[in-house]
Structure 1
Amino acid sequence: MQFSIRRVNAIFRKDWKDLMKNSYIIFTLAFPLIFAAWIGRIGSEDPAFQTFSIHFALVIAGAFVQAAMVAEEKEKNTLRGLMLSPASTAEILVGKSALTAVSTLVVVIGSILLAEYKVPSPPLFILSILLGLVLFVTIGTILGLLSRTVMETTIVGMPVLVIFGMGSMFKAMTDNEMIIKAVDYLPSEQLNMIWMELDREMNISGTIDNILILLAWVVVSFVIAVFVYGKRRFD
Protein backbone atom coordinates (compact mmCIF):
# COMPACT_ATOMS: atom_id res chain seq x y z
CA MET A 1 0.00 0.00 0.00
CA GLN A 2 1.38 3.40 -1.00
CA PHE A 3 1.63 6.25 1.47
CA SER A 4 -1.34 8.54 0.84
CA ILE A 5 -1.00 12.27 1.52
CA ARG A 6 -4.77 12.57 1.00
CA ARG A 7 -5.51 10.24 3.94
CA VAL A 8 -2.98 12.07 6.12
CA ASN A 9 -4.57 15.40 5.19
CA ALA A 10 -8.05 14.06 6.02
CA ILE A 11 -6.85 13.00 9.50
CA PHE A 12 -5.13 16.36 9.96
CA ARG A 13 -8.26 18.32 9.04
CA LYS A 14 -10.43 16.21 11.37
CA ASP A 15 -7.99 16.82 14.24
CA TRP A 16 -8.00 20.56 13.49
CA LYS A 17 -11.79 20.69 13.82
CA ASP A 18 -11.61 18.73 17.08
CA LEU A 19 -8.89 21.03 18.42
CA MET A 20 -10.99 24.14 17.83
CA LYS A 21 -13.71 22.64 20.05
CA ASN A 22 -11.37 21.51 22.84
CA SER A 23 -10.69 24.25 25.41
CA TYR A 24 -8.49 21.89 27.51
CA ILE A 25 -5.98 21.44 24.67
CA ILE A 26 -6.06 25.14 23.70
CA PHE A 27 -5.26 26.13 27.30
CA THR A 28 -2.49 23.50 27.44
CA LEU A 29 -0.92 25.00 24.31
CA ALA A 30 -1.13 28.50 25.81
CA PHE A 31 0.48 27.53 29.13
CA PRO A 32 4.12 27.39 27.87
CA LEU A 33 3.63 30.80 26.21
CA ILE A 34 2.49 32.28 29.53
CA PHE A 35 5.55 30.81 31.23
CA ALA A 36 7.88 32.15 28.51
CA ALA A 37 6.28 35.60 28.77
CA TRP A 38 6.97 35.57 32.53
CA ILE A 39 10.65 34.71 31.88
CA GLY A 40 10.86 37.57 29.39
CA ARG A 41 9.13 39.92 31.83
CA ILE A 42 11.65 39.34 34.63
CA GLY A 43 14.44 40.09 32.16
CA SER A 44 16.68 37.09 32.89
CA GLU A 45 19.57 36.74 30.44
CA ASP A 46 20.67 33.34 31.76
CA PRO A 47 20.56 30.98 28.71
CA ALA A 48 19.86 27.96 30.93
CA PHE A 49 16.80 29.69 32.40
CA GLN A 50 15.59 30.91 29.01
CA THR A 51 15.97 27.51 27.32
CA PHE A 52 13.93 25.90 30.10
CA SER A 53 10.89 27.56 28.56
CA ILE A 54 11.69 25.77 25.28
CA HIS A 55 11.92 22.42 27.11
CA PHE A 56 8.62 23.22 28.75
CA ALA A 57 7.01 23.96 25.38
CA LEU A 58 8.27 20.69 23.87
CA VAL A 59 7.04 18.59 26.79
CA ILE A 60 3.68 20.31 27.32
CA ALA A 61 2.73 21.15 23.74
CA GLY A 62 4.39 18.08 22.23
CA ALA A 63 3.86 15.19 24.61
CA PHE A 64 0.81 16.28 26.62
CA VAL A 65 -1.27 17.65 23.74
CA GLN A 66 -0.53 14.64 21.56
CA ALA A 67 -1.43 12.27 24.41
CA ALA A 68 -4.70 14.14 25.03
CA MET A 69 -5.68 14.08 21.35
CA VAL A 70 -5.01 10.35 20.98
CA ALA A 71 -6.78 9.55 24.27
CA GLU A 72 -9.77 11.65 23.21
CA GLU A 73 -10.10 9.50 20.08
CA LYS A 74 -10.11 6.43 22.32
CA GLU A 75 -12.77 7.92 24.58
CA LYS A 76 -15.02 8.59 21.60
CA ASN A 77 -14.29 5.11 20.18
CA THR A 78 -13.23 6.72 16.90
CA LEU A 79 -9.60 5.60 17.13
CA ARG A 80 -10.50 1.92 16.70
CA GLY A 81 -12.44 2.73 13.54
CA LEU A 82 -9.42 4.65 12.25
CA MET A 83 -7.13 1.74 13.09
CA LEU A 84 -9.36 -0.68 11.15
CA SER A 85 -9.69 1.68 8.16
CA PRO A 86 -7.70 1.27 4.92
CA ALA A 87 -5.19 3.83 6.23
CA SER A 88 -1.77 2.32 6.98
CA THR A 89 0.02 2.54 10.33
CA ALA A 90 2.39 5.19 8.94
CA GLU A 91 -0.49 7.30 7.57
CA ILE A 92 -2.37 7.19 10.88
CA LEU A 93 0.67 7.95 13.04
CA VAL A 94 1.81 10.80 10.78
CA GLY A 95 -1.73 12.16 10.42
CA LYS A 96 -2.37 12.04 14.18
CA SER A 97 0.99 13.72 14.87
CA ALA A 98 0.94 16.42 12.18
CA LEU A 99 -1.32 18.91 13.95
CA THR A 100 0.50 18.50 17.26
CA ALA A 101 3.85 18.97 15.51
CA VAL A 102 2.71 22.17 13.80
CA SER A 103 1.13 23.50 17.02
CA THR A 104 4.25 22.69 19.03
CA LEU A 105 6.51 24.46 16.53
CA VAL A 106 4.32 27.57 16.80
CA VAL A 107 4.46 27.39 20.62
CA VAL A 108 8.25 26.85 20.60
CA ILE A 109 8.79 29.85 18.30
CA GLY A 110 6.45 31.91 20.47
CA SER A 111 8.34 30.82 23.61
CA ILE A 112 11.69 31.82 22.08
CA LEU A 113 10.36 35.27 21.19
CA LEU A 114 8.57 35.86 24.50
CA ALA A 115 11.54 34.65 26.58
CA GLU A 116 13.78 36.92 24.45
CA TYR A 117 16.21 34.06 23.82
CA LYS A 118 18.96 34.78 21.28
CA VAL A 119 19.19 31.64 19.15
CA PRO A 120 22.82 30.54 18.62
CA SER A 121 23.81 28.83 15.35
CA PRO A 122 20.26 28.61 13.87
CA PRO A 123 20.82 25.51 11.63
CA LEU A 124 22.04 23.30 14.49
CA PHE A 125 19.53 24.79 16.90
CA ILE A 126 16.69 24.01 14.45
CA LEU A 127 18.00 20.45 14.04
CA SER A 128 17.94 19.92 17.82
CA ILE A 129 14.41 21.36 18.03
CA LEU A 130 13.17 19.04 15.27
CA LEU A 131 14.69 15.98 16.99
CA GLY A 132 13.14 17.03 20.30
CA LEU A 133 9.81 17.67 18.57
CA VAL A 134 9.67 14.22 16.95
CA LEU A 135 10.73 12.57 20.21
CA PHE A 136 8.15 14.25 22.46
CA VAL A 137 5.29 13.91 19.98
CA THR A 138 6.12 10.19 19.69
CA ILE A 139 6.20 9.87 23.48
CA GLY A 140 2.83 11.66 23.58
CA THR A 141 1.44 9.12 21.10
CA ILE A 142 2.59 6.27 23.36
CA LEU A 143 1.04 7.92 26.43
CA GLY A 144 -2.24 8.49 24.57
CA LEU A 145 -2.40 4.86 23.45
CA LEU A 146 -1.73 3.65 27.00
CA SER A 147 -4.28 6.01 28.62
CA ARG A 148 -8.00 5.23 28.74
CA THR A 149 -9.23 8.82 29.08
CA VAL A 150 -7.99 12.36 28.48
CA MET A 151 -7.78 13.02 32.22
CA GLU A 152 -5.72 9.87 32.69
CA THR A 153 -3.05 11.29 30.38
CA THR A 154 -2.34 13.95 33.02
CA ILE A 155 -1.60 11.24 35.60
CA VAL A 156 0.33 9.01 33.21
CA GLY A 157 2.15 11.96 31.67
CA MET A 158 3.33 13.60 34.90
CA PRO A 159 6.42 11.35 35.18
CA VAL A 160 7.27 12.41 31.62
CA LEU A 161 7.13 16.07 32.60
CA VAL A 162 9.33 15.46 35.64
CA ILE A 163 11.84 13.00 34.14
CA PHE A 164 12.12 14.22 30.56
CA GLY A 165 11.53 17.92 31.16
CA MET A 166 13.27 18.51 34.50
CA GLY A 167 16.20 16.11 34.44
CA SER A 168 18.59 18.71 35.85
CA MET A 169 16.56 18.79 39.05
CA PHE A 170 17.61 15.20 39.85
CA LYS A 171 21.29 16.07 39.45
CA ALA A 172 20.93 18.83 42.04
CA MET A 173 19.21 16.45 44.49
CA THR A 174 21.77 13.64 44.57
CA ASP A 175 25.49 12.93 44.80
CA ASN A 176 25.13 9.43 43.37
CA GLU A 177 27.42 9.21 40.34
CA MET A 178 25.34 6.50 38.65
CA ILE A 179 22.15 8.57 38.86
CA ILE A 180 23.93 11.69 37.61
CA LYS A 181 25.42 9.75 34.69
CA ALA A 182 22.00 8.26 33.83
CA VAL A 183 20.37 11.71 33.95
CA ASP A 184 23.01 13.03 31.55
CA TYR A 185 21.59 10.71 28.87
CA LEU A 186 18.02 12.00 29.21
CA PRO A 187 16.71 13.98 26.20
CA SER A 188 16.35 17.17 28.26
CA GLU A 189 20.01 17.03 29.26
CA GLN A 190 21.12 16.28 25.70
CA LEU A 191 19.19 19.30 24.45
CA ASN A 192 20.68 21.41 27.25
CA MET A 193 24.20 20.31 26.34
CA ILE A 194 23.62 21.10 22.66
CA TRP A 195 22.26 24.56 23.42
CA MET A 196 25.01 25.36 25.92
CA GLU A 197 27.68 24.27 23.43
CA LEU A 198 26.10 26.37 20.70
CA ASP A 199 25.94 29.32 23.08
CA ARG A 200 29.72 28.97 23.45
CA GLU A 201 29.92 29.23 19.64
CA MET A 202 30.82 25.57 19.16
CA ASN A 203 30.23 23.92 15.77
CA ILE A 204 28.66 20.55 14.95
CA SER A 205 31.78 18.66 16.03
CA GLY A 206 31.13 19.74 19.62
CA THR A 207 27.53 18.55 19.57
CA ILE A 208 27.59 15.47 17.31
CA ASP A 209 27.55 12.99 20.23
CA ASN A 210 24.52 14.69 21.77
CA ILE A 211 22.70 14.76 18.42
CA LEU A 212 23.37 11.03 17.91
CA ILE A 213 22.04 10.23 21.41
CA LEU A 214 18.90 12.26 20.68
CA LEU A 215 18.51 10.42 17.38
CA ALA A 216 18.76 7.10 19.23
CA TRP A 217 15.97 8.25 21.59
CA VAL A 218 13.82 9.13 18.54
CA VAL A 219 14.34 5.70 16.93
CA VAL A 220 13.64 3.77 20.14
CA SER A 221 10.51 5.80 20.95
CA PHE A 222 9.19 5.36 17.38
CA VAL A 223 9.68 1.57 17.56
CA ILE A 224 7.82 1.49 20.89
CA ALA A 225 5.00 3.64 19.46
CA VAL A 226 4.54 1.30 16.49
CA PHE A 227 4.57 -1.74 18.81
CA VAL A 228 2.00 -0.24 21.22
CA TYR A 229 -0.15 0.86 18.27
CA GLY A 230 -0.09 -2.67 16.88
CA LYS A 231 -1.09 -4.13 20.25
CA ARG A 232 -4.00 -1.68 20.58
CA ARG A 233 -5.09 -2.27 16.99
CA PHE A 234 -5.52 -6.00 17.39
CA ASP A 235 -6.57 -5.98 21.06
Structure 2
Amino acid sequence: MNFSIKRVNSIFIKDWKDLQKNNYILFTLAIPLVFAVWLGRIGAESAIYNTYPIILSLVLVGSLIQAAMVAEEKEKNTLRGLILSPASTTEIFLGKCALSAILASIVIIASVFLSGYNVPSPPLFSVSVLLGLAFYLAIGTIIGLISRTVMDTSIIGVPVLLIFGISFKSLVENETALMIINYLPNEALNTIWVDLNNGKGFSGIIENILILLAWVVISIVTTVIIYRKRRVD
Protein backbone atom coordinates (compact mmCIF):
# COMPACT_ATOMS: atom_id res chain seq x y z
CA MET A 1 0.00 0.00 0.00
CA ASN A 2 1.40 3.40 -1.02
CA PHE A 3 1.73 6.14 1.56
CA SER A 4 -1.04 8.73 1.18
CA ILE A 5 -0.67 12.24 2.57
CA LYS A 6 -4.38 12.73 1.89
CA ARG A 7 -5.32 10.03 4.41
CA VAL A 8 -2.95 11.54 6.98
CA ASN A 9 -4.47 14.98 6.34
CA SER A 10 -8.01 13.62 6.71
CA ILE A 11 -7.19 12.14 10.14
CA PHE A 12 -5.51 15.41 11.15
CA ILE A 13 -8.51 17.54 10.08
CA LYS A 14 -10.91 15.28 11.97
CA ASP A 15 -8.83 15.65 15.14
CA TRP A 16 -8.68 19.42 14.64
CA LYS A 17 -12.49 19.64 14.43
CA ASP A 18 -12.88 17.45 17.53
CA LEU A 19 -10.35 19.60 19.42
CA GLN A 20 -12.39 22.77 18.93
CA LYS A 21 -15.28 21.16 20.82
CA ASN A 22 -13.17 19.92 23.74
CA ASN A 23 -12.81 22.47 26.55
CA TYR A 24 -10.68 20.08 28.63
CA ILE A 25 -7.96 20.01 25.99
CA LEU A 26 -8.09 23.78 25.44
CA PHE A 27 -7.70 24.34 29.21
CA THR A 28 -4.77 21.91 29.36
CA LEU A 29 -2.96 23.88 26.66
CA ALA A 30 -2.97 26.97 28.86
CA ILE A 31 -1.29 25.39 31.92
CA PRO A 32 2.35 25.47 30.65
CA LEU A 33 1.80 29.01 29.36
CA VAL A 34 0.57 30.24 32.74
CA PHE A 35 3.57 28.64 34.42
CA ALA A 36 5.91 30.26 31.86
CA VAL A 37 4.36 33.68 32.48
CA TRP A 38 4.88 33.22 36.23
CA LEU A 39 8.55 32.31 35.71
CA GLY A 40 8.96 35.34 33.49
CA ARG A 41 7.46 37.63 36.12
CA ILE A 42 9.69 36.40 38.95
CA GLY A 43 12.73 36.59 36.68
CA ALA A 44 13.96 33.02 37.19
CA GLU A 45 17.51 32.70 35.90
CA SER A 46 18.18 29.00 36.58
CA ALA A 47 18.22 26.84 33.44
CA ILE A 48 16.39 24.11 35.35
CA TYR A 49 13.52 26.42 36.32
CA ASN A 50 13.24 27.93 32.85
CA THR A 51 12.94 24.52 31.22
CA TYR A 52 10.10 23.35 33.51
CA PRO A 53 7.43 24.76 31.14
CA ILE A 54 9.00 22.79 28.30
CA ILE A 55 8.82 19.49 30.19
CA LEU A 56 5.30 20.43 31.28
CA SER A 57 4.34 21.07 27.64
CA LEU A 58 5.73 17.70 26.58
CA VAL A 59 3.90 15.89 29.38
CA LEU A 60 0.55 17.68 29.22
CA VAL A 61 0.27 18.44 25.51
CA GLY A 62 2.47 15.73 24.02
CA SER A 63 1.17 12.91 26.21
CA LEU A 64 -2.06 13.68 28.07
CA ILE A 65 -3.79 15.44 25.17
CA GLN A 66 -2.60 12.74 22.78
CA ALA A 67 -3.91 10.06 25.17
CA ALA A 68 -7.25 11.85 25.52
CA MET A 69 -7.73 12.11 21.75
CA VAL A 70 -6.91 8.44 21.16
CA ALA A 71 -9.14 7.34 24.05
CA GLU A 72 -11.97 9.55 22.78
CA GLU A 73 -11.78 7.72 19.45
CA LYS A 74 -12.15 4.43 21.34
CA GLU A 75 -14.98 5.75 23.49
CA LYS A 76 -16.93 6.85 20.41
CA ASN A 77 -16.11 3.57 18.62
CA THR A 78 -14.54 5.55 15.76
CA LEU A 79 -11.05 4.12 16.34
CA ARG A 80 -12.28 0.70 15.18
CA GLY A 81 -13.40 2.20 11.89
CA LEU A 82 -10.06 3.97 11.53
CA ILE A 83 -8.15 0.74 12.21
CA LEU A 84 -10.23 -1.13 9.62
CA SER A 85 -9.89 1.66 7.04
CA PRO A 86 -7.45 1.54 4.10
CA ALA A 87 -5.05 3.78 6.06
CA SER A 88 -1.78 2.08 7.01
CA THR A 89 -0.35 1.97 10.53
CA THR A 90 2.15 4.70 9.63
CA GLU A 91 -0.58 6.95 8.19
CA ILE A 92 -2.78 6.49 11.26
CA PHE A 93 0.07 7.22 13.66
CA LEU A 94 1.21 10.29 11.74
CA GLY A 95 -2.34 11.58 11.43
CA LYS A 96 -3.16 10.99 15.10
CA CYS A 97 0.12 12.48 16.34
CA ALA A 98 0.29 15.46 13.99
CA LEU A 99 -2.10 17.73 15.90
CA SER A 100 -0.57 16.99 19.30
CA ALA A 101 2.91 17.55 17.86
CA ILE A 102 1.94 20.91 16.36
CA LEU A 103 0.16 22.04 19.53
CA ALA A 104 3.09 20.96 21.72
CA SER A 105 5.56 22.78 19.47
CA ILE A 106 3.50 25.98 19.59
CA VAL A 107 3.14 25.79 23.37
CA ILE A 108 6.88 25.10 23.82
CA ILE A 109 7.87 28.07 21.64
CA ALA A 110 5.37 30.31 23.44
CA SER A 111 6.61 29.07 26.85
CA VAL A 112 10.22 29.87 25.95
CA PHE A 113 9.18 33.35 24.87
CA LEU A 114 6.94 34.04 27.89
CA SER A 115 9.47 32.77 30.44
CA GLY A 116 12.29 34.79 28.89
CA TYR A 117 14.47 31.68 28.54
CA ASN A 118 17.58 32.29 26.45
CA VAL A 119 17.84 29.05 24.47
CA PRO A 120 21.46 27.84 24.25
CA SER A 121 22.61 26.30 20.95
CA PRO A 122 19.17 26.33 19.22
CA PRO A 123 19.98 23.48 16.74
CA LEU A 124 21.05 21.02 19.47
CA PHE A 125 18.27 22.23 21.75
CA SER A 126 15.72 21.63 18.97
CA VAL A 127 17.04 18.10 18.35
CA SER A 128 16.61 17.23 22.03
CA VAL A 129 13.08 18.67 22.11
CA LEU A 130 12.07 16.75 18.96
CA LEU A 131 13.35 13.48 20.45
CA GLY A 132 11.51 14.24 23.69
CA LEU A 133 8.34 15.07 21.76
CA ALA A 134 8.52 11.78 19.83
CA PHE A 135 8.84 9.86 23.11
CA TYR A 136 6.00 11.64 24.90
CA LEU A 137 3.68 11.33 21.88
CA ALA A 138 4.33 7.59 21.83
CA ILE A 139 3.65 7.34 25.58
CA GLY A 140 0.42 9.31 25.12
CA THR A 141 -0.66 6.99 22.31
CA ILE A 142 0.05 3.94 24.47
CA ILE A 143 -2.00 5.38 27.35
CA GLY A 144 -4.86 6.14 24.96
CA LEU A 145 -4.79 2.64 23.45
CA ILE A 146 -4.92 0.85 26.80
CA SER A 147 -7.57 3.18 28.27
CA ARG A 148 -11.23 2.37 27.84
CA THR A 149 -12.46 5.96 28.22
CA VAL A 150 -11.05 9.49 28.33
CA MET A 151 -11.46 9.43 32.12
CA ASP A 152 -9.23 6.35 32.28
CA THR A 153 -6.36 8.29 30.69
CA SER A 154 -6.06 10.35 33.87
CA ILE A 155 -6.09 7.29 36.11
CA ILE A 156 -3.56 5.40 34.01
CA GLY A 157 -1.59 8.34 32.70
CA VAL A 158 -0.90 10.47 35.76
CA PRO A 159 1.29 7.90 37.61
CA VAL A 160 3.20 7.13 34.41
CA LEU A 161 3.73 10.78 33.58
CA LEU A 162 4.76 11.59 37.13
CA ILE A 163 7.68 9.20 36.62
CA PHE A 164 8.56 10.68 33.23
CA GLY A 165 7.73 14.29 34.08
CA ILE A 166 9.08 15.06 37.55
CA SER A 167 12.68 14.99 38.71
CA PHE A 168 13.14 12.94 41.87
CA LYS A 169 16.93 13.28 42.06
CA SER A 170 16.82 15.76 44.94
CA LEU A 171 14.70 13.32 46.98
CA VAL A 172 16.86 10.24 46.41
CA GLU A 173 20.15 9.41 48.12
CA ASN A 174 20.61 5.77 47.12
CA GLU A 175 23.29 5.56 44.42
CA THR A 176 21.63 2.69 42.54
CA ALA A 177 18.32 4.55 42.43
CA LEU A 178 20.08 7.71 41.27
CA MET A 179 21.78 5.79 38.47
CA ILE A 180 18.40 4.46 37.30
CA ILE A 181 16.83 7.91 37.50
CA ASN A 182 19.63 9.36 35.36
CA TYR A 183 18.50 7.10 32.51
CA LEU A 184 14.92 8.41 32.51
CA PRO A 185 14.05 10.54 29.45
CA ASN A 186 13.07 13.64 31.44
CA GLU A 187 16.39 13.52 33.31
CA ALA A 188 18.24 13.12 30.02
CA LEU A 189 16.45 16.19 28.67
CA ASN A 190 17.21 18.25 31.78
CA THR A 191 20.87 17.20 31.67
CA ILE A 192 21.15 18.13 27.98
CA TRP A 193 19.66 21.57 28.56
CA VAL A 194 21.84 22.29 31.59
CA ASP A 195 24.94 21.12 29.71
CA LEU A 196 24.07 23.30 26.71
CA ASN A 197 23.50 26.23 29.04
CA ASN A 198 26.98 25.60 30.49
CA GLY A 199 28.53 25.85 27.04
CA LYS A 200 28.92 22.17 26.14
CA GLY A 201 28.63 21.09 22.52
CA PHE A 202 27.43 17.94 20.77
CA SER A 203 30.21 15.79 22.22
CA GLY A 204 29.15 16.81 25.72
CA ILE A 205 25.53 15.77 25.27
CA ILE A 206 25.85 12.76 22.94
CA GLU A 207 25.38 10.23 25.76
CA ASN A 208 22.03 11.71 26.78
CA ILE A 209 20.98 12.09 23.14
CA LEU A 210 21.54 8.35 22.72
CA ILE A 211 19.54 7.68 25.91
CA LEU A 212 16.65 9.69 24.48
CA LEU A 213 16.94 7.93 21.14
CA ALA A 214 16.76 4.54 22.86
CA TRP A 215 13.61 5.61 24.73
CA VAL A 216 12.06 6.83 21.47
CA VAL A 217 12.70 3.50 19.73
CA ILE A 218 11.40 1.47 22.69
CA SER A 219 8.25 3.57 23.04
CA ILE A 220 7.44 3.49 19.31
CA VAL A 221 7.96 -0.28 19.09
CA THR A 222 5.73 -0.74 22.16
CA THR A 223 3.06 1.50 20.59
CA VAL A 224 3.05 -0.53 17.38
CA ILE A 225 2.80 -3.82 19.29
CA ILE A 226 -0.17 -2.61 21.38
CA TYR A 227 -1.86 -1.11 18.31
CA ARG A 228 -1.55 -4.34 16.35
CA LYS A 229 -2.96 -6.29 19.29
CA ARG A 230 -5.93 -3.92 19.42
CA ARG A 231 -6.32 -4.32 15.67
CA VAL A 232 -6.57 -8.09 15.99
CA ASP A 233 -9.02 -7.73 18.90
Q: What TM bracket, shorter-length normalisation?
A: over 0.9
Confirm or deny that 1:4 pairs with 2:7.
no
Which residue does 2:111 correspond to in 1? 111
Which residue does 2:174 correspond to in 1? 176
Which residue does 1:200 correspond to in 2? 198
RMSD, aligned α-carbons = 0.8
**Matched ranges for 1:1-235 at <5 A:** 1-166=1-166, 168=167, 170-235=168-233
Q: 1:152 offset after TM fit, Å?
A: 1.0
Q: 1:147 offset after TM fit, Å?
A: 0.6
- Matches of 2:154 and 2:112, distance apart in 1: 25
The runs of 4+ residues in structure 1 deviating greater than 4 Å are none
The AA in structure 1 aligned to 2:29 is: L
- Matches of 2:40 and 2:151, distance apart in 1: 31
Write out per-residue CA displacement over residues 4-43 of structure 1, whole angstroms, 9 at most, x where no aligned residue. Answer: 1010000000000000111111111111111111111111
The AA in structure 2 aligned to 1:191 is: L
Q: 1:161 offset after TM fit, Å?
A: 2.5
- Matches of 1:54 and 1:131, distance apart in 2: 13
Q: 1:217 offset after TM fit, Å?
A: 0.4
Write out per-residue CA displacement over residues 163-199 of structure 1, whole angstroms, 9 at most, x where no aligned residue. Answer: 1110x2x222221111110000001110011101100
- Matches of 2:141 and 2:161, distance apart in 1: 15
- Matches of 1:84 and 1:160, distance apart in 2: 29
TM-score, normalization: structure 1?
0.97
Write out per-residue CA displacement over residues 140-162 of structure 1, whole angstroms, 9 at most, x where no aligned residue. Answer: 00000011111111111111321
- Matches of 2:33 and 2:169, distance apart in 1: 27
Write out per-residue CA displacement over residues 81-123 of structure 1, whole angstroms, 9 at most, x where no aligned residue. Answer: 0000111111001100000000000011111111110000000
The AA in structure 1 aligned to 2:89 is: T
Secondary structure at 1:207 match in 2: helix
Write out per-residue CA displacement over residues 56-93 of structure 1, whole angstroms, 9 at most, x where no aligned residue. Answer: 11111100000000000001000000000111111001
- Matches of 2:165 and 2:39, distance apart in 1: 17
User: Structure 2: any 5+ residue segments left out of the alignment?
Assistant: none
Q: 1:213 offset after TM fit, Å?
A: 0.8
User: Structure 1: any 5+ residue segments left out of the alignment?
Assistant: none
- Matches of 1:51 and 1:199, distance apart in 2: 11
- Work out the number of aligned pairs and report it: 233
- Matches of 1:191 and 1:67, distance apart in 2: 22
